[in-house]
Structures are given as structure tokens and as C-alpha cells.
């Protein structure tokens, strides 16, 4: 049991930020993201205790739970486009001057909002490729699609984001 | 909103990496989750019996013993059937010989029994069992004669030859002092032949024959009238060939 604890603890540390971000970008609320993330890791821990040796890819396993949890969330609640004020406080300050900060926040905000508007499968590939730095091959395996299809999806996702930002 | 290039969009997307959860919440969640104990399904372990080298040897040996036993059994059975072919009524393995004759025609079996009777008579063995078997086989042949001919019209020649053989063996037995003569069983066989011979005589009477064939037909008719059905049948066969 101690061994399982230790192993899942490492998995938790490795993926908590990524899973949270993944969920947050889809639900656009810290509270809801925390709630769903909690459920994801709780479910993951329970599964790991029962069939730990069968989980060969913890990343894919946790992301699958997360995707399903978000779908369940949208089944129960309506989508919200409001921006959580806490979001601004959590962002790391990567810009040095006010002007750059304003532009940075504006662009990021626009993209963050736009991401919620594109197809869920496009959201997934954008997050995994650009934010989690997963290779196309790994993404292809996770969604059971050819690598070429994933590249096309990424291209179309960026195009859609561009169009949405342009219209907004 | 100013128009963004693709590069700018991608750059903006990558900036979203900075989105991180509250670290206090992360620590709290971790401690909460890892204290949760899931319902772990346990499958009762079946006691595993350790297999030793002796178990392996025993199973191999058992299989070998069985194989040897089976081979020995097959050998014995084969030998038994082989030896049984040389037996005569009254011998221990004679019943085994009868088993191997199951698919043989009753008349052919009667021929074999007449051969056996002759063989026994020529030896110093008790002839009574052989005579008994011969009589039984003749009765059986008489019962099945009509069915045999109905099933196979071409068997007439074979039937004639077999009956001739039986008659020959009877004559030889007579010379050895064993007179089967007109027993119930031999009469039955003759009586079974009678309608067959009559039927053949009728068919031939309606057929266009040569002078020579007509003479043979007349001779066959005479033999039939004398009750010598097997002889009549033999003559009939010379006409038909």
C-alpha cells in the first residue's frame, strides 16, 4: 500500500498542474476547475489502487478521466463565459512594463476565451501540443487518430482561434 | 481586437502555460486523496499447490504406463483375432472368429462351417460342435437367401458356387462316416432355393433360346422336378452365361 501511495504521489505531482490547466481552459472557472480536478484525481487514485499495474500510461489515463468529467459537467450545468477574477491573480507576470502587460493580458485573454469556443477535440490537441508540449505521435495515440490528422486538427484549431479573435 | 497573425495566436496560446492552480489547494487535495482508501476488490486466492518434479514424473509415467497398457491390449486383441481365424467349432477362440465373420453373408458362413466340419472330422477332435454350427449356419442361410438374391441379382452365380461347395463338403463328410443328409436345416436351404429356381426356369422359358440352351433348360426342369434345386440352378447358370 505504501508503494502505491508513493507511486501515485509522484503521478499526482507530475500531472496536477497540467490536468488543472486542461480543465480550467475548458470551464473558465477556478472553482469549477478545482472541483473537477479533485474528482479526476480521486477517481484516478481509486482506479490505481484496484488496477495500478494495468495503467501503463498515467497521462493518457488521467486526461481521459478529465475529458469525461468536463463532459459530465457540461451535461449538468450551462456553459459560462464569465472570466474568473482569480485568473488574473494566478497568471505569472511575464511582462515587465505596463504596456506589454496590457497587450499580453489582452491577447492571452482573447485566446483563452477563444479556446472555449472551438471544438472540444480541437481544444484538446491545442492544449496538449502547445501547452503540455506533447509530440504529435503521442497525441495521435491518445485520441486514436493518425498523426497527419492531428496536424490538420492543430492547423484548423489555430485558424479557428484566429477567426474567433478577429470577430470578437 | 487587432488582427492577430497565426504566429501571434500560437504565441498567445503558449503563454497560457502560466495558468497554474493554487498551490495550497494542490497540497490539501493531495493529502485528502491519498488518505482515501478505495474498495479494493479481492479475489480469494486459490491455494496453489506446488508442483514438484515428482508430480511431473508421475504424470509422465502414468501417461507412459497407459500408453504401454493400451499398446499391449491392442497387440493381444490383434493376436487373438489372428489366431482365431485358424480355430474350429469347439475351440476356445472360435467365438472370436465368429465375431470377425459378422459382415460375411450367411451362405458364405455356411460354406465356412462346412469347411470347419470337414476339418474337424479329419482330425481327432469332437465333431459334434462343428456339426451343430453347420446346421445353424444352413438354417440362417436359408432364411436370408431370398433377401440376398433380391438385393443383388448378380449374386446368383456366387450362391450357386457356395451351395455346390456345401454339397461337396457334405459328400466328403459322408465318406468320413458323418451323414448330415436331409436334416431340417438342409431341407430349409433347398426349399429356399426352390422358388428361385422356378422363377429362373419361367423367365428362361419365355426367352428365345438356341437349341443347345433349350436342351439345358429341359435338363434343369428335370432336376427341379426331382427336387435337386442346387443342381438345377447350376444348369440354369450355364444357360444364362
pLDDT in tens, A80-124: 544 444 444 344 333 344 444 555 567 778 888 899 899 999 999
Torsion on CA atoms A134, A136, A137, A143, rounded to nearest 10: 90
Per the CB < 8 Å rule, is A42 touching B36? Answer: yes
Most A CBs within 10 Å, among B13, B14, B33, to test the A interface: B13
Q: Which three cell numbers stand for residue A165?
A: 479573435
CATH 2.40.420.20 fits A99-167, yes or no: no
Mark yes or no for CB contact A104/B14 under 8 Å.
Answer: no
- Is there a contact between B18 and A91 if contact means CB atoms under 8 Å apart? yes
Mean pLDDT of B174-190: 65
For A56, A63, A115, A119, the CA distances from A124, given in Å and listed in that order, are 21, 9, 10, 9
The domain defined by A2-76 carries CATH number 2.60.40: no
The SS3 call for residue B43 is coil
Contact A12 B30 (CB under 8 A): yes
Instruction: Please report where in the chains the cell 476339418 appears, as a residue.
Output: B119
Among A12-21, B10-19, B189-198, the range with the most confident prediction by mean pLDDT is A12-21
pLDDT for res A22: 96
pLDDT at B67: 83
pLDDT for res A146:
94
Which is more confident, B79 or B1?
B79
pLDDT at B40 over 60: no
- Note the pLDDT of residue A94: 39
Q: Average the pLDDT over B180-185 and give the result.
A: 61
What's the grid cell of residue B189?
Answer: 436351404
pLDDT above 90 (res B81) = no
* Average pLDDT score over residue span B58-71: 78
- Residues of chain A neighbouring B31 (CB-CB closer than 8 A): none
Kindly tell me if the per-residue pLDDT of B2 is higher than 70. no
Please list, in sequence order, all residues whose beta carbon lies within 8 angstroms of the beta carbon of residue B59, skipping any fewer than 6 positions away. none
Given a cut of 90, is residue A57 above it in pLDDT? no
Task: Please determine, for residue A140, whether its predicted confidence score (pLDDT) is greater than 90.
Answer: yes
- Percent of chain B exceeding pLDDT 70 equals 78
Domain boundaries, chain B: 88-240
The band of B8, judged by pLDDT with boundaries at 50, 70 and 90, is confident
Cβ–Cβ below 8 Å for B21 and A42 = no
Residue of A nearest to B12 (CA): A108
Residue among A98, A123, A108 at smallest CA distance from B14: A108
pLDDT at B80: 84
In A, which residues are within 8 Å of B37 by CB distance? Answer: 49
Whether B54 has a pLDDT exceeding 90, the answer reads: no
Contacts of A110 in chain B (CB under 8 A): 1, 4, 12
CB spacing of A158 vs B6 below 8 angstroms: yes
Query: Judged by CB atoms within 8 Å, which residues 59-98 of A form the interface with B?
Result: 87, 90-92, 94
Closest CA to A40 of A17, A65, A7: A65
Q: Does the predicted TM-score (pTM) go above 0.90?
A: no
Predicted confidence at residue B146, as pLDDT, reads: 64
Q: pLDDT tens-digit profile of B102-160?
A: 888 888 888 899 888 888 777 766 777 888 888 888 888 877 776 666 556 567 778 87
Across the interface, do B13 and A34 touch by the CB < 8 Å criterion? no
Nearest-by-CA chain A residue for B23:
A17
Does any CB of chain B come closer than 8 Å to the CB of residue A53? Answer: no
Residue in the structure block whose three cell numbers are 427341379: B224
Give the residue-averaged pLDDT of B181-200.
Answer: 73
Candidates A17, A50, A158; nearest CB to B21: A17
Provide CB contacts within 8 A for A108, sequence distance 6+: A91, B12, B15, B16
Do A111 and B12 count as a contact with CB atoms less than 8 A apart?
Answer: yes
Torsion of Cα atoms, A23 then A26 then A31 then A35, to 10°: -40
Is A108–B12 a contact, with Cβ atoms under 8 angstroms apart?
Answer: yes
The SS3 call for residue A165 is: helix
Task: Check whether B179 has a pLDDT greater than 70.
Answer: no
Give residue B38's pLDDT band: very low, low, confident or very high (50, 70, 90). low
In A, which residues are within 8 Å of B9 by CB distance? 111, 158, 161-162, 165
Cβ atoms of B84 and B96 within 8 Å: the answer is yes
- Name the residue facing B40 among A24, A30, A49 (closest C-beta): A49
Kindly state whether A130 is in contact with chain B, defined as any CB-CB distance less than 8 angstroms. yes
| Most confident listed range (A82-91, A132-141, B170-179) | A132-141
Q: What percent of chain A has pLDDT over 70?
A: 81
ipTM score assigned to the predicted complex = 0.80
Model pLDDT, residue A105: 66
Place of cell 429362373: B200
Q: What is the location of CATH 1.10.1740 in chain A? A: 2-76
- CA dist B111 and B169 (Å) reads 8
Please list the residue range(s) of chain A that carry CATH number 1.10.10.10.
99-167
For A126-155, b/e burial (b = at least 16 CB within 10 A) is: bbbbbbbebebebbbebbeeeeeebeebbe
Amino acid at each position: 500500500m505504501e508503494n502505491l501511495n508513493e507511486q501515485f504521489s509522484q503521478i499526482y505531482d507530475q500531472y496536477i498542474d497540467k490536468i488543472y490547466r486542461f480543465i480550467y481552459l475548458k470551464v473558465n472557472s477556478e472553482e469549477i476547475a478545482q472541483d473537477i480536478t479533485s474528482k479526476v484525481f480521486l477517481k484516478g487514485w481509486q482506479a490505481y489502487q484496484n488496477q495500478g499495474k494495468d495503467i501503463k500510461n498515467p497521462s493518457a489515463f488521467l486526461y481521459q478521466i478529465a475529458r469525461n468529467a468536463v463532459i459530465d459537467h457540461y451535461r449538468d450545468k450551462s456553459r459560462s463565459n464569465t472570466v474568473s477574477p482569480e485568473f488574473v491573480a494566478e497568471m505569472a507576470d511575464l511582462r515587465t512594463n505596463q504596456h506589454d502587460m496590457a497587450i499580453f493580458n489582452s491577447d492571452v485573454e482573447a485566446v483563452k476565451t477563444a479556446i472555449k469556443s472551438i471544438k472540444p477535440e480541437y481544444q484538446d490537441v491545442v492544449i496538449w501540443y502547445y501547452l503540455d508540449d506533447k509530440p504529435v505521435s503521442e497525441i495521435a495515440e491518445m485520441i486514436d487518430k493518425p498523426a497527419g490528422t492531428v496536424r490538420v486538427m492543430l492547423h484548423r484549431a489555430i485558424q479557428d482561434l484566429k477567426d474567433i479573435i478577429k470577430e470578437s | 481586437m487587432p488582427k492577430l497573425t497565426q504566429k501571434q495566436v500560437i504565441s498567445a496560446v503558449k503563454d497560457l502555460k502560466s495558468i497554474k492552480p493554487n498551490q495550497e489547494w494542490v497540497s490539501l487535495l493531495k493529502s485528502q486523496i491519498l488518505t482515501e482508501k478505495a474498495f479494493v476488490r479481492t479475489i480469494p486466492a486459490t491455494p496453489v499447490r506446488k508442483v514438484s518434479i515428482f508430480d511431473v514424473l508421475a504424470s509422465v509415467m502414468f501417461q507412459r504406463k497407459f500408453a504401454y497398457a493400451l499398446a499391449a491390449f491392442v497387440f493381444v486383441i490383434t493376436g487373438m483375432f489372428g489366431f482365431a481365424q485358424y480355430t474350429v467349432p469347439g475351440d476356445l477362440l472360435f467365438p472370436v472368429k465368429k465375431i470377425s465373420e459378422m459382415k460375411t453373408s450367411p451362405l458364405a458362413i455356411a460354406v465356412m462351417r462346412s469347411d470347419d466340419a470337414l476339418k474337424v472330422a479329419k482330425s481327432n477332435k469332437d465333431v459334434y460342435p462343428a456339426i451343430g454350427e453347420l446346421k445353424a449356419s444352413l438354417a440362417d442361410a436359408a432364411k436370408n437367401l431370398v433377401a440376398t438374391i433380391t438385393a443383388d441379382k448378380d449374386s446368383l452365380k456366387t450362391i450357386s458356387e457356395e451351395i455346390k461347395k456345401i454339397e461337396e463338403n457334405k459328400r466328403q463328410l459322408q465318406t468320413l462316416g458323418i451323414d448330415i443328409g436331409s436334416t431340417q436345416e438342409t431341407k430349409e436351404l433347398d426349399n429356399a432355393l426352390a422358388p428361385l429356381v422356378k422363377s429362373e426356369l419361367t423367365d428362361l422359358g419365355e426367352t428365345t433360346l438356341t437349341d443347345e440352351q433349350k436342351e439345358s433348360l429341359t435338363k434343369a426342369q428335370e432336376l427341379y422336378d426331382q427336387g435337386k434345386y442346387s443342381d438345377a440352378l447350376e444348369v440354369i447358370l450355364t444357360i444364362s452365361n
